[in-house]
Structures are given as C-alpha cells and as structure tokens.
Structure 1
C-alpha cells in the first residue's frame, strides 16, 4: 500500500509538471445580461473584441513627458516590435485621441489580438511586455494591464505551505511527544496533497480550472489530511497503551475511527458539491475540484495510515522527546475535568456560550459585499501598478470600462449615411448619470449589433459603478435592446445570481449533512442540533470577516495594501475597508460547514460509544469530551495554523479565506465543541439518542464507528434505544 501511494503521488506530480494544464479566468455566467453582451461582442466586431482579445501596456514617464522626441521614437520602435509578434492584429498608439493622459506622462499602447490561445494569455502578455524593451531603455516604465490572467497574478504555492507544515509539526510534537508519531500525519498529508494537485493539474487539459483551484485544494487538503491521520493515530496509540496487539489495534482503528473519517470527509464533500447549484461556473468548479483534495485525504487516511502503523508497530512511539506529550494517568489531559465541570452547570455554560457567540457574530450584520478589484492587490504586482497608473492618468472608471452591445431589431444593410440608432445609443449612454465618456459606436460585420465602450466615473469596486450598469441597462433605444458587459457588469450579475441561489445551496448543504448524521447516529435531534451548531460557528466567522475587512479593523495587519487615495499614515495603512466578493461567503459557508461537521462527528462518536457502554448520558458526555478534547484541540490548532499561514499570500481572496477559516475553526473547536455542544447534550439527556420507531425501521443499518468490539461490550443500553420510539 505504501508503494502504491508513493508511485501514484510521484507519477501524478511528474505528469502535472511535465504536462501542466492551463488555468482559466473564465467567469461566464449563463443566462445573465453580461453573458449575452459577451456573446454578442464575439460576433463580427473584428480583432480584439473577443474574450482576452486586448492587452494594454501602461507607459509612465516619471521624469519628463512622453511627447519628447527621443521617447516618441522609443515608443514607435516598441510598437513596431510588437506588430511583428504572432497573433497581433493591430497596435494602437498612445498618441491617438484618448490614448494619452492630460499630464502627458501616462499613455496606453493597446494591442489587439487575433487567433490566439486564451488559455496562454499570460505567456502572450509576457511576450508583448518584453517587446517594449526600447521604451524601458528610454527611461519609461511599461506595465502590462488587462491581461485576463497575467503571470504576476497566478497563485503559486510554496512559502505558506512550508509555514503551515512546520506549525503542524510543532503541534504534533507537543501532542504526541515522539518524532516518529508526529511525522506520520505530515507524511500522509503530503502524499495526499501531491496526489490531489497532480490530478487537478492534469484536469486543466479537460475542463476550465480556475487559478484559485490549486491554492484552495492545498489549504483544505493539507488541513484535513493532517487532521484525519491525527485522529487515526491517536486512537491507535491509545489501543497500544492498553496492551492491544499491533495488528488488532490497526484493525480496530480502521473499524472505528476509520469509519468516522469517511463520514467526516463525506460531509465536507457534500458541502462542496452543493456549490454546483450556485449558478456560477467558477464557484461550481472550485467546489468539486477542492472536493478532490478531500477525497484524497480520506483515501490516504484509511489506507496509507493503517499501512504505516502496521509497518512501524510499537516503533510508532520511538524517538520520544523530553518534557512534551505527557498525559495524566487517565489520558485526558484535563478535558475530562472540563467535561465534568460543564455537566454540573449546563444552563450557565449554555447561557455564557450563547452570549459570547452572539457577540462574535454581531459584526456580521455590517458585512459589506462588493467587487474586489486590482486596487486592493499587492503593491508589488504589475496588476496593482497598472491599476494605479491608469487611475492617476485617466480616472478610476478606466479600470473597469463598460462594454455596451445593442442588439438591433432590424439588420442594417446600408451604412451610408450612418444609421440613426448608432448616434441614439451613444447619446443615451452619455446622458446616463455617472458615465464620464462614451466612445464611438461600432457596427458589426453582419449589421445586427452595435458596440461601444463607456468609462464610468467610479472604480470597479465602488458600489456606484453597479448603479451605472443598471442605469445603462434601463436605456430604451428605439430599434435596439441594450446589453452591458465588462468587468463591473459581470461582477454585478455574479452577485445577483449567487444571491438568488444562496438559499438553495444553504438548504441543500444543511439537509444533506443532517441526513448523513442521521444515518450515522440514528438520532434526529443530534442531526438537527449539529446543523444548528455549525451555523452558529459560521456566524462567528462572518463576524470576524466583517470586523477585519468591512469595518477595516486590522485589514493592514493581514497584509492588505491600502487602496489609492488612502493617506500614508501608520494607522491609515492598518485600518481601511475592503469589499468582499459576493461568491466568497457562499464558498466559505460550504467549506466551513463541512469542516465543522468533522469535529462534530468525532465528538459524537466518542459520546455515543460511551453511552452504549453504560447508558448514563451525563457521564457519556464528560467521557466523550475527555477522550476527544485533546485530539480535537490539536487538530483544530493544526488547521488554524495552516489557514493563518495562507494569509501571507498576496492574493486578497486567499487572505479573506484564511481569516474566515482560521477564526471559524478556532471558535468551533473551543466554544462550540468544548462548551456549547456538551451543555446542550447534558440538558437533552437521553433525548439525544431518541429515534421514532417508524424512522428506525426505514433507516439503513449504518454505523459511523463501525463494529469495534470495545464499544459493544454492553448491549442493554442499546436495546433501550433502538426502535423504542421514546427516550
């Protein structure tokens, strides 16, 4: 088994490195007005009007004017070099009308492409940028912009993964106290990640893989991969400590904790799969691709971990470190005492937990959703630099021009004189409040549609830009129907589509996850309660996101660079508001709901096993918390460390995910699982395990903890529970 996994991981990794699949920036949204404008734009308007058909080079002369003779000659030489490149159909000079800023220090070279490969737009951009060498030699800065997926925006893995693995290693050393035991979850998680990323890399040849897919898969896969292996290993070491032979201990681990891992991973995959209902292709793809990493983590945990445990035998406890990993004689490390303390005062613990969680979730009411443009990107990237230069020279709206396409009711056959509908469209767009400039309309070759670009007065992330989009769409032009595309319109339509589908996605995730728990524990109350607890932890996560980003209380502390216009004072660089893309909360919901259910499954498994032994609910809750508290805390600390490490990425989306995931897991593993869940289970008493007779008859006989003989020593409590129709 060890050989199979190593060969599989090595083969898939090598394949993805030798034949890497392209990443995609496809943000198509079927059925929306922006998508209709995009489709019309691709029909007969000439080169440069298809998706990714235009690349701009922003020129900046910081120590003089672009209009000096030497610099004009350098610009002309660069344009000649660019014209000779493959797929370049037209190069527009910065000295044309509208191509030069009023200060004559900032200009735009616009390159229109034809017959190029959109999946290799980053390479094309790099080649065009390199051809601008004569401009740079003349002391002019040349920065590529509007390149779809420029090379500087491709998310690369490396430093954050290393930081996350090192932090996880330290936690494991303190949890186990032996170097060999600490290395097992790390090794298994790395094999899992290598396998998953190899599959995802090769999938790029078959489907559109978003550029965020690999980073999301790494974040989630690394966290759950270490956690699942940690749960299995902890169970195995306990059995060895109780004197169980190695092979029997491995068998029991696979039968009990292995089943819990499969159920826990199943809840994560179900939650991610529900994103297919979001109506947003990029979000749907991110969901099922991230699910691949979770499946790899489950498979390696239930196959590779037992193989390693069998190979190592008692050497799993070798290379013990001094002063760490020590436990009390009962092995609880204080968690059993906490469980007993909670069990003695459940009402007080419940009230205090609810108050704390309500305070953590309250800021979520101020969560501000909106487009997140390149103005919030890392200042060291070309995309951020070009954004700032364009805003300084041409105004903020130039970073998100509107692409307006009017579909004509009657085909234009006579182009002389100019059809009245063209001028009517331009006049109508210019009259819209918030439009700074409207270009000349262009009729397509078939005479069926008119295209023009309009520059709003506001930046793409400004909510007022969305109002301009709606006002332009509301235009009524005789003989034409108006559609609006472009970056701002696409983000607006994405937000509307996701908002419409959010109740459906949330409902499916909650219902399917609750159903899975019902099958696992045969208790409707446990299933409903678990779903509610996970929603509570999500409230705390969104509250943290609102505090850090929407209210701006520490956005600079997580590495966000302040946008243009924010002064350079120390406090201003630490506290500023950042919009959150509309698809991020839904993605976070799916991921967090699945991850939170992991800890619920492991805690409930331990409580149920104790209850089946002696039938004392209060004692079972205390014992369940005592036996799982240490391992759940270690697992949560590892996952939080991994997510915090990813905040170091320059991509704002990754930072937002890192903050939300880290806070949610920390709250879930402490307040929720340590206090709220035990308190409610003590108060519910034997109602926790009540199942109506009719429901018990139709439920299949599944068991999350398998058939571990250790948990089946006393049958009388089970007889009172199953099929009794009452507690």
Structure 2
C-alpha cells in the first residue's frame, strides 16, 4: 500500500506541475489552471475515496491515503508552485500553436470525426473482448517467485498431494455443551468425502481446548485456493446431526478467499455508483454542460475495461500464465484509473471550453484545446507510466497484475481515448456539447 500511494502521489504532483508550468510559459495566466487542478484533484480524491466503502482493512487504507495524497498534491500545485514561478520565473520559448503537432492532429480529427471515432472503437474492442476470459481469485499462492524457499516447498508438496493440500478448509464445530458427538462427526466426514472436489477428510480426535465444546474437521480439496469456492459453499450448507444449538463454521484460506470475493462483489456497485455520481455532479457544475460529463464517464469506463482486458490477456499468456486475476487488483485498477482518466479529461476539456467561450466555434475550440493540452497530457502520462512500471518487475502476481492494468490503462487513455476518441465525440456532438438545463449558481466561464 505505501508503494502504491507514493507512486500515485508522485505522478499527480508531476502532472499538476507540468500543467502549471505549461500555462505559465504560454500566457502567464495560472488562475484558470489552478481551478482546473482543483477539479482534477477532487475527481481523483473522489475515485480513491470509494475504496473506504469496502469493509476490508488493507483496501480501506488505500482509500484513506487516496483522499489525502491528491489533496496535498493539488494544494502544493495551487499555492506553493505559483509563488515559486512568480519568484524564479521561467526562461524559454513559448509553445507555438501553429507548429504544434497536436494542433495538426486536432485538425485531422475535425475533418474526419466519424472515421476516427470508428477506428478508436475498433481498437478498444480488441482488449475489451478479453473480458470474456476474466475469472477472479482471492490470491495466487502458486505464483510466488520460484526462487523462494517457501515456493520450492509448496511445489514439492503440491506435486505429490495436489494444490489443495497447502490451503485446507477448516470446519469448526462449537457445541452448546460437552457431549459425545463422535458418530455425528464421522457421519459428517463421510458426507463431505463423497463430494467430487474433496481429496480427503481429516477428523481431529482432540478438542480445540479443555472445555470439550469445540472440535475441528479438516477438508483437503483437490483444487487450489481460487478453485475451491464451490466446495466452500457446499460445506456451508451442511449442519450434521449435532445437538440443538451447535454452531458450525467453515473457515480456512479458501473460505476466507470466498468471503473476500463476495465482499468486494457486493460492494462494487455502490463504489461505482458513488464515483460516477459525484464525478458527474462535479463536472456538470464546473463545465456547465450535461453531455460532456456523461461522455467523460463513458470514456473512463472504456479505459478501465480496456485496461482490465489487457491485464487478463497478459496474465494468462505471459506473466505467470494464470487463469485467474486477484480480485483486489481489479478494484484498485478501477479506482486509480477512474481518477487518473478523469484527471486527463478535465485537463483537455477545460481548455476546449475556454476556447469555445472566446469565439463560440466548437471545432476550432477542439483543435485549440488539443493543441494546448495534448503535449501536457502525453508527457504526464509518460511520467506516470514510468513510475508505475516498477510494479511490472515485482515478484508477486498481484503486483504485476496491478502494474499491467495501470500502465495499459494510462497508455490507452492518453492516446486512443484522449487524443482521438475524445475530440471525435466533441466534434460529432457539436453544439450539443454546450447545451444544458440552467443550473442556478453554475459557472459560465472557466
């Protein structure tokens, strides 16, 4: 968690610094950029704060840190950096619009919005189609670095007794009072042993403590941790012929993994709804538009879907060659990418809006907005990718999966999404970009 937070904080700080320096060199007007950074940082904080809703401690810790980090980054960028720029100044040529390669790209998109739109969608379909192969697991013990002594020990054991031997399911039977339940325990063990996924059942003849009320049954599955979920669900339906008032609990690593998956799956709709709703309301007020915030959310979801699809493809075929993705990485990918993608969206669209307010020409505003921010967004994305590639060299499957998803997502978002699909949709929507029901107190300028 600390490493993830540090990298996100570093990336955001550099992003905002680049945006501020670029605007300062362009025309010295940094007040509008300060507002843009405040909105961008707020969207990142909103996205990461949703992790607090997950009742899992290590996920919540990232959510808490995720609120603090962007707030600190945007506070430094909007207070300390302007003071330093004013005091030190910056020498060097101003960006030239006419020769800007992103201006030429913008003009190309304006002339060919439909082909660019269709091309972008076609490219995105390739990674998104990999979502059909998505399967999740709580963790990937089999993907430990092969040179670790513990990994070698696991390999020796599993090669002889199967993957389930390293993560047995533990059934705990808590009796209301001391009683002889030997026959009931044997009957329960026999019923469990008949299941197709059970390798063996071990009944411990001793009680857990001196009270004589708690005993255990160990179930060794034929399958690994991530594939034992159906067996855990089956075991939780069994009650046995124990005295009235007996409590039967199914625990162990497979049961804990199933509980983790269920917690995340049950919480995710609330997380997504919270992030999408707050981001929409924030952007709608800031941009005074109805369609642009909706478009921003849709494009963000495209980026996230493509990132997850890319993660599935590379994890199955290159990294560890696993059939399942650790579920916590998907949650982190969603929260982090949603925030960063919205960050880049705000950078570009705010400048498009600013240009549009000057001359009311939508297509010209798209070209000017892309010309003035395309380089900043691309540079910021490269910096962020450079920071996150450290995860790719990690020795654990979960970290590599997270690295693949974030690097792929940022690369796709900063190129296909922001440089092609975003301007193409802005051109196709035309005047509808700026149509909206009047909101009392909303901004009319940036």
C-alpha separation in 2, matches of 1:644 and 1:689 = 38
Residue 458 of structure 1: how far off its partner (Å): 2.3
Whether 2:196 is the aligned partner of 1:433: answer yes
Residues 272-294 of structure 1, C-alpha deviations (whole Å, 9 max, x = no match): 11122234333222222233332
Per-residue Cα deviation, 1:594-652 (whole angstroms, up to 9, x for no partner): 11000110101100110111111111111101111111111111112222232112122
Give the direction of change, closer, same or farther, for the CA distance of 1:620–1:457 in structure 2 (3 Å limit): same
- Hey, what does 2:97 align to over in structure 1? 330
Larger RCO, structures 1/2 (Cα 8 Å, 6+ apart): 2
- Report if the CA contact (8 A) 1:403-1:485 is conserved: yes
Residue 653 (structure 1) aligned to one of 374, 383, 398 = 398
CA shift, 1:385, in A, is 2.9
After the TM superposition, which residues 682-701 of structure 1 pair with which residues of structure 2 at under 5 Å, given as runs?
A: 682-693=427-438, 696-697=439-440, 699-701=441-443
Residue in 2 aligned with 1:477? 240
| CA deviation map 1:44-81 (0-9, x unaligned) | xxxxxxxxxxxxxxxxxxxxxxxxxxxxxxxxxxxxxx
1:542 aligns with 2:308: yes
Contact 1:473 1:483 in 2 (8 A): yes
2:173 to 381, 406, 424: 406
Q: What is the CA–CA distance in structure 2 between the aligned matches of 1:290 and 1:645, rounded to whole Å?
A: 19
Report matched runs for 1:203-602 at 5 Å.
213-239=1-27, 249=28, 252-253=29-30, 255-314=31-90, 317=92, 329-330=96-97, 333-392=100-159, 394-408=161-175, 410-412=176-178, 419-435=182-198, 436-443=200-207, 444-461=209-226, 463=227, 465-479=228-242, 480-549=246-315, 552-555=316-319, 560=320, 576-602=321-347
CA distance in 2, matches of 1:441, 1:266: 58
**Structure (1 or 2) with the greater helix fraction:** 2
In the TM superposition, residue 522 of structure 1 has moved relative to its aligned partner by 1.3
> 1:271: Cα distance to partner?
0.9
| Matches of 1:509 and 1:227, distance apart in 2 | 21
My pick for the range that moved more, 332-341 or 517-526, is: 332-341
Q: Which of 662, 670, 690 lines up with 2:415 in the alignment? A: 670
Question: What is the rounded CA distance, in whole Å, between the counterparts of 1:542 and 1:459 in structure 2?
Answer: 23
CA distance in 1, matches of 2:149, 2:337: 33
CA gap 1:397/1:702 in 2 versus in 1, 3 angstroms: farther
Contact 1:342 1:678 in 2 (8 A): yes
Q: Tell me the residue number matched to 1:94.
A: none
Q: Distance in 2 between matches of 1:605 and 1:441?
A: 70
Helix, strand or coil at the partner of 1:454: strand
SS in 1 for 2:250: strand
- Structure 1 distance, partners of 2:152, 2:191, is 33
Conserved 8 A contact 2:143-2:396: no
* 8 Å contact from structure 1 (residues 229, 301) kept in 2: yes
Say if 1:671 and 1:395 are closer, same or farther in 2 by CA, change over 3 A: closer
Contact 2:140 2:326 in 1 (8 A): no
C-alpha contact 1:228 1:301 (8 A) present in aligned 2:
yes
| Match runs of 1:15-34 below 5 Å | none
> Could you tell me the TM-score, scaled by structure 2's length?
0.92
Within 5 A, what are the aligned runs for 1:40-55?
none
What does the per-residue CA deviation read over 1:382-410, in whole Å, with 9 as the maximum and x for residues that have no partner? 442332233246542221011211233x3
Cα pair distance change 1:427/1:383, threshold 3 Å: same
Deviations 1:400-443 (A, max 9, x none): 011211233x311x5xx665444444444444433323141543
2-structure distance, mates of 1:466, 1:494 = 11
Please report the RMSD computed on the Cα atoms of aligned residues, expressed in angstroms.
Answer: 2.3
Q: Distance in 2 between matches of 1:355 and 1:590?
A: 25
CA distance, structure 1, for counterparts of residue 96 and residue 41 of structure 2: 32
Distance apart, 1:468 and its partner CA: 2.1
Please state how far the C-alpha of 1:668 moved relative to its aligned partner: 0.9
Contact 1:441–1:452 (CA under 8 A) maintained in structure 2? no
> Which whole-Å deviations, capped at 9, do the CAs of 1:468-522 have from their partners, x for residues lacking one?
2222222231233432111111111111222222222112111111111112111
- 1:629 aligns to what? 374
3-state SS of paired residue (1:404)? strand
Contact 2:235-2:250 at 8 Å conserved across structures: yes
**1:219 touches 1:646 (CA, 8 Å); kept in 2?**
no
**1:369 offset after TM fit, Å?**
1.4
Q: For the residues of structure 2 that align with 1:385 and 1:257, how far apart are their CA atoms?
A: 54
Query: Which runs of 5 or more structure 1 residues have no equivalent in the other structure?
Result: 1-212, 240-248, 318-325, 561-575, 706-727
| Kept after mapping to 2: 8 A contact 1:538/1:593 | yes
Specify the SS of the correspondent of 1:256. helix
CA contact (8 A) 2:337 2:406 kept: yes
Q: Displacement, 1:224? A: 1.5
TM-score when normalising by structure 1: 0.58
Give 1:584 shift.
2.0
Note the alpha carbon deviations across 1:162-204, whole angstroms, 9 max, x for none. xxxxxxxxxxxxxxxxxxxxxxxxxxxxxxxxxxxxxxxxxxx
Q: Indicate the SS of the match to 2:225.
A: coil
State the alpha-carbon separation in 1 of the partners of residues 94 and 133 from structure 2.
44
Q: Distance in 1 between matches of 2:349 and 2:410?
A: 17
Partners of 1:518 and 1:524 within 8 A in 2:
yes
Report which of the two structures shows the higher radius of gyration computed on alpha carbons: 1
